[in-house]
């Protein structure tokens, strides 16, 4: 049984949770302890006690620790990618790539720790100088989702540590394996006891302590809109700094002048890879009428060529849905789409394979209308719909008619439309002839409207959330 890391010690919790493989529900990937409320408080106290010394430990020590973690992740990407795929269900290639991405993120922030910048200005008062410097926020609570068990923890933990914060990390219940493996590496990186704690356990127990604690200064969360809203309400009372990454209903616009190969590739990769379980997934194809019939039939054809199966099978292109509950949601949306009058062009069926897993064929609806629920609500599964439109202007209007604004894409050969789209699409990430999902690790990540709240994640922009600014005046 794997334990929690609290104040530098590996500690048993009050319950055990089995980690089940969604490709084969008869396989238990491992057993993981569950922290109780008093252990969560213990981790927060330890983080609080250790933070100041850590923030004055010097940038070389912090950089070295992050470099150690990143290098080990890269060296063990096959092994840890295998574990990730077994617990989450994305294909082995995707699992390995995700661990490598996490490794690169730690190495990126190992370098960022060395170049924490400030400003020096003259005061409006003669002989007074002003320095603007960045300081750590303090104790950061990190709550992460199941769909990127390594990469999302990495892009929150690495900058938190790089800028001198201490961390209390609560991973998603469904994926403790990757979180534990990451914590184990961090525990050997030279970071002092208490600076980083792992708290596997229930949101209603551990999450609640983190959100309500007066000793946690900032909270970063990726997950559902409902949970994000609840966390925001609770955290605001304690004046915590907040960063929330939530849902998406990302549009991929395809214009008549698009390269059809690129458009189909963006659609398949963006909507269906990682089993569609990405907040950046394209789930609305908004397609101009001239190319619409060809696009829809080509996507359906490409879907029929994909292999759905066990995540570790090298033939597999699409792994299982993460669990039974998500499978129910995906199936419900397939029924909703049919009932709303969209045409199911391909898939949407539960599939049997030689292991008992949550397999379903990727679903494509055609002739969807912008008001349909399948065109408005986040599904978080391998289900996408195509909406026909007459013009670019109509496509943009439909694309912007959403409560979300995370990622959005356009496939076109027109510089004029691509440029207009980048300016007028209400989103945090705009993609031209590239998929809406699968972003780089060294540039800002986040959205507008209901998708995100607070400062951007990743790249050098992560400093906005993980530091606070001090303005110092000196008369010489
Ligand atoms: C990606 O598309 O590369 O939860 C990353 C998610 C996002 C991460 C997507 N926060 O799906």
pLDDT confidence bin for 75, thresholds 50/70/90: very high
Task: Burial-class residue 125 by CB neighbours within 10 Å (0-12, 13-18, 19+).
Answer: exposed
CA–chain centroid gap for 414, Å, is 31
Q: How far is the CA of 233 from the centre of ligand 1 (A)?
A: 24
pLDDT confidence bin for 274, thresholds 50/70/90: very high
248 neighbors 281 (Cβ within 8 angstroms): yes
The closest residue, in CA terms, to atom 5 on ligand 1 is 438
Q: How far is the CA of 439 from the centre of ligand 1 (A)?
A: 8
| Closest atom of ligand 1 relative to the 279 alpha carbon | 11
The string of pLDDT tens digits covering residues 432-476 is 999 999 999 999 999 999 999 999 999 999 999 999 999 999 998
The string of pLDDT tens digits covering residues 378-411 is 999 999 999 999 999 999 999 999 999 999 999 9
Cα–Cα distance for residue pair 269/288, rounded to 1 Å:
20
Cα–Cα distance for residue pair 220/199, rounded to 1 Å:
15
SS3 454: coil
DSSP 281: -
Q: How far is the CA of 368 from the centre of ligand 1 (A)?
A: 25
Q: Examine the residue annotation and report whether 411 is marked as an active-site residue of this protein.
A: no
Would you say residue 236 has pLDDT above 90?
no
Q: How far is the CA of 53 from the centre of ligand 1 (A)?
A: 33
pLDDT confidence bin for 52, thresholds 50/70/90: very high
Select from 282, 227, 295, 202 the least CA-distant residue to 250: 282
Q: Under 8 Å CB-to-CB from 198, ≥6 apart: which residues?
A: 4, 5, 6, 169, 171, 179, 180, 183
| Closest atom of ligand 1 relative to the 280 alpha carbon | 2
The total number of residues written for the chain in this structure: 476
Mean pLDDT across the stretch 317-346? 98
Cα–Cα distance for residue pair 211/244, rounded to 1 Å:
13
The closest residue, in CA terms, to atom 7 on ligand 1 is 279
Enumerate the H helices of 306-391 as residue ranges: 324-340
Residue-averaged pLDDT of the chain: 98
Q: Examine the residue annotation and report whether 245 is marked as an active-site residue of this protein.
A: yes
The one catalytic residue in 88, 94, 209, 279 is: 279
Q: Under 8 Å CB-to-CB from 269, ≥6 apart: which residues?
A: 435, 437, 438
The string of pLDDT tens digits covering residues 161-209 is 999 999 999 999 999 999 999 999 999 999 999 999 999 999 999 999 9
Which H/E stretch holds residue 179? helix 176-187
187 neighbors 158 (Cβ within 8 angstroms): no
Q: Which domains does the chain have, with CATH numbers?
A: 4-246+451-475 (3.40.605.10), 250-432 (3.40.309.10)
Q: Strand 363-366 to strand 250-254: parallel, antiparallel, or no bridges (unpaired)?
A: unpaired
> What residues flank ligand 1, with Cβ below 6 Å?
145, 147-148, 152, 222, 245, 278-280, 437-439
pLDDT confidence bin for 46, thresholds 50/70/90: very high
42: its two tokens: 């213990």
């Amino acid at each position: 049984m794997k334990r929690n890391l609290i104040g530098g010690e590996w500690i048993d919790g009050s319950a055990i949770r089995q980690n089940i493989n969604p490709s084969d529900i008869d396989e238990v990937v491992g057993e993981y302890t569950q922290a109780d409320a008093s252990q969560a408080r213990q981790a927060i106290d330890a983080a609080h006690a250790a933070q100041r010394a850590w923030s004055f430990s010097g940038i070389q020590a912090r950089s070295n620790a992050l470099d150690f973690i990143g290098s080990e992740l890269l060296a063990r990407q096959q092994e840890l990618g295998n574990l990730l795929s077994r617990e989450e269900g994305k294909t082995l290639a995707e699992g390995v790539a995700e661990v490598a991405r996490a490794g690169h993120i730690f190495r990126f922030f190992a370098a960022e720790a060395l170049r924490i910048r400030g400003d020096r200005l003259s005061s409006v008062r003669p002989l007074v100088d002003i320095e603007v410097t960045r300081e750590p926020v303090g104790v950061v609570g990190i709550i992460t989702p199941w769909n990127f068990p390594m990469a999302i923890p990495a892009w929150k933990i690495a900058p938190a540590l790089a800028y001198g914060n201490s961390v209390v990390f609560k991973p998603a219940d469904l994926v403790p394996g990757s979180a534990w493996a990451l914590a184990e590496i961090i525990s050997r990186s030279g970071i002092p006891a208490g600076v980083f704690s792992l708290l596997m356990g229930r949101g209603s127990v551990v999450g609640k302590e983190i959100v309500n604690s007066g000793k946690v200064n900032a909270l970063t969360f990726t997950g559902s809109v409902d949970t994000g809203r609840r966390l925001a309400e609770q955290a605001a009372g304690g004046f915590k700094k907040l960063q929330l990454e939530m849902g998406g209903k990302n549009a991929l616009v395809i214009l008549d002048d698009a390269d059809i190969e690129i458009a189909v590739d963006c659609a398949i990769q963006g909507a269906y890879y990682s089993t569609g379980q990405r907040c950046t997934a394209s789930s609305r194809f908004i397609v101009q009428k001239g190319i619409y019939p060809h696009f829809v039939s080509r996507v359906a054809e490409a879907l029929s060529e994909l292999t759905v199966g066990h995540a570790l099978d090298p033939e597999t292109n699409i792994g299982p849905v993460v669990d039974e509950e998500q499978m129910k949601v995906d199936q419900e949306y397939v029924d909703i789409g049919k009932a709303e009058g969209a045409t199911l062009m391909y898939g949407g069926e539960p599939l049997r394979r030689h292991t008992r897993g949550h397999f379903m064929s990727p679903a494509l609806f055609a002739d969807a209308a912008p008001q349909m629920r399948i065109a408005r609500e986040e599904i978080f599964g391998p289900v996408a719909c195509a909406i026909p439109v007459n013009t670019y202007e109509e496509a943009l209007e439909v694309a912007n008619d959403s409560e979300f604004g995370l990622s959005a894409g356009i496939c076109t050969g027109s510089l004029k439309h691509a440029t207009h789209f980048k300016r007028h699409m209400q989103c945090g990430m705009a993609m031209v002839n590239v998929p809406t999902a699968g972003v780089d690790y060294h540039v800002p990540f986040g959205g507008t409207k209901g998708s995100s709240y607070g400062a951007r994640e990743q790249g050098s922009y992560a400093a906005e959330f993980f530091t606070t600014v001090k303005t110092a005046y000196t008369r010489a």
